[in-house]
Amino acid sequence: MSSTHRTAEDRPSGGERPPGGGRPPSPLRQLAAASVGNAVEWYDWHAYSFLAVYFAEQVFPPGTGNSLVPLLSSFAVFAVGFFMRPVGGLLMGAVADRHGRRAALTVTILLMGAGSLLVALTPTYATAGVLAPVILVLARLVQGLSVGGEFAASTTFLVESAGPGRRGLFASFQYVSTTFGQLLASGTAALLAALLSEAQMGQWGWRVAFLGGALLSLLGLWIRRGARETLPGALTGVRAGEETSVAERRAARPGLFEALRHYPRQSLLICGITAGGTLAYYTWTTYLPTYAQVNAGFDKGDSLTVGTLSLAFFALLQPLGGMLSDRIGRKPLLLGFSLGFALLAVPLLHLVTDAFVSLLLVQCAGLVLLTGYTSIAAAVNAELFPARIRAAGIGFPYSLTVALFGGTAPYVGTWFRQSGHAGLFPWYVAALCLVSFCVYLTLPETARQKLDE
């Protein structure tokens, strides 16, 4: 395989020295800095969806004669958080492109910790009235801003840290860490559900998980301090070796909407690449336990256990998918994922019953197919843009698409169930994956191309 691009250690860094002034961190250290912080971010983000069934009735007013109203309200707030993600992708992407990836990664993890702490301290509707859901919405908006910027910054950081022929492998750790964070959230929720009664979970147990997330954010911040900047000239605004005036350095900084103006085709491609993948991802990794509960009467505690086991399996698959894409290319995996879901989403979701094994098999089967997208999404997105506007170029269209289709998946699925058309949701998933399949057919193969600096 031909060489793809210089490693982060080989590229100039605008005179920046690694912390401590010694040798620059190894690629393993770079992976750890991105992955541990990212896992903490996604633990905080996903804890909400796993615990919504417990705190919904505490924070939202009950609907007259309809027990699904508080749950629908909590999922609506879940979706609202997603609509801050494009703003986060745009703003934090601009920070990453102007001031470096590390600066953006520091800001995002601080925001996520603050949002998680605010969720933990949210009062109940009985004690604070309408102020309770308002505080929860505010916390979710802060978290949405954070996670939108996190994907943009960590995606570019991981891909730019990779050595020749390893971009797919490094990119896979975006979802390894994302899945580990989700796994930690699912496992924490399952453990709390096993140790506490349902009444205790509803009263105070769910708060423990969010308080833990706020503390973990401090750990992630500490680990990220050891990362090496991957954007050339991040401290000066220009590439190393170039002598420019202050005015020229300021002019060299990309504008907020520069990627959209100068790379509209790539921006639209990211929307098409992401649409089917994000809907399938949030359906299979986040909403499926709730889907089983409301459509098949599946036990709450057992659904969390199934989710935890399935996510552990999913995390193990990601590096395998990334390495495979470095050998055979990105397109075969993307086409396999999208066509597989277009054909199998409906029969798989119809196989979900109240039996433990049925949900486990359905979730694991879908996650095998999903790996064709998740393991390489970061690499595919990063390979479309030059370094100068890479983070913002990825962040806004990706986060907007996730907000439209991924963030609304739990709400749309629950709404279909409430309106008496639960069987339409699997067809919705299949149709959107078919749209992405058509987009993948038009993509150039980028696995062996040099990463544009």
Q: What is the pLDDT along the chain (453 residues), one digit of tens a residue?
A: 444 444 443 444 333 444 444 455 577 778 888 888 889 888 988 888 778 878 877 887 765 455 556 666 776 776 677 778 889 988 999 899 988 888 899 999 999 999 999 999 999 888 888 888 888 888 888 988 898 888 888 889 998 888 778 899 999 999 999 889 888 887 888 889 889 988 888 888 999 999 999 999 988 888 888 778 888 765 444 444 445 444 444 445 677 778 888 889 999 999 999 999 999 998 998 788 878 887 788 887 788 788 888 989 999 999 999 999 999 999 999 999 999 999 999 999 888 888 899 999 999 999 999 999 999 999 999 999 888 889 989 989 998 998 889 878 878 888 888 888 878 889 999 999 999 999 999 998 988 888 776
Task: For CA atoms 388, 394, 400, 403, give the dihedral sign.
Answer: negative
Q: Which pLDDT does position 22 carry in this prediction?
A: 47
Give which of 309, 424, 298, 426 is closest to 361, Cα–Cα: 309
Angle at 355 between CA 50 and CA 183, to 5 degrees: 30
How many other C-beta atoms are found inside a 10 Å radius of the C-beta of residue 181? 28
Produce one character per residue of 85-122: b if its CB has 16 or more CB atoms within 10 Å, e if not: bbbbbbbbbbbbbbbbbbbbbbbbbebbbbbbbbbbeb
Identity of residue 129: G
Q: Which pLDDT does position 453 carry in this prediction?
A: 66
């027990």: which residue's tokens? Answer: 67
Angle at 209 between CA 203 and CA 215, to 5 degrees: 130
Q: Which pLDDT does position 24 carry in this prediction?
A: 55
> What distance lies between CA 393 and its chain's CA centroid?
16
Q: Which pLDDT does position 311 carry in this prediction?
A: 85
8 Å CB contact between 164 and 314: no
Structure tokens at 145: 């801003």
Q: Cα–Cα distances in Å, from 322 out to 167, 244, 314, 371, 374?
A: 8, 40, 13, 9, 9
Produce one character per residue of 327-343: b if its CB has 16 or more CB atoms within 10 Å, e if not: eebbbebbbbbbbbbbe
3-state secondary structure of 274: helix
Q: What is the DSSP secondary structure assignment for residue 403, as one 8-state letter?
A: I
Distance CA 261, CA 268 (A): 12
Angle at 442 between CA 439 and CA 445, to 5 degrees: 115
8 Å CB contact between 409 and 314: no
Q: Which pLDDT does position 67 carry in this prediction?
A: 56
Q: Phi and psi for 63 in degrees, rounded to 5?
A: -90, 140
Q: Establish how many alpha carbons lie within 13 A of residue 163's alpha carbon, considering only the half-sphere containing its beta carbon.
A: 6
3-state secondary structure of 66: strand
Q: Give me the domains of the chain, ranges plus CATH numbers.
A: 27-226+261-442 (1.20.1250.20)
Distance CA 30, CA 227 (A): 6
Q: Which pLDDT does position 182 carry in this prediction?
A: 80
Give which of 297, 300, 302 is closest to 353, Cα–Cα: 297
Q: Which pLDDT does position 68 carry in this prediction?
A: 59
Q: Which pLDDT does position 249 carry in this prediction?
A: 46
Distance CA 241, CA 223 (A): 30
Distance CA 377, CA 397 (A): 13
How many other C-beta atoms are found inside a 10 Å radius of the C-beta of residue 453? 14
Q: Helix, strand, coil: what percent of the chain each, to 5?
A: 75, 0, 25
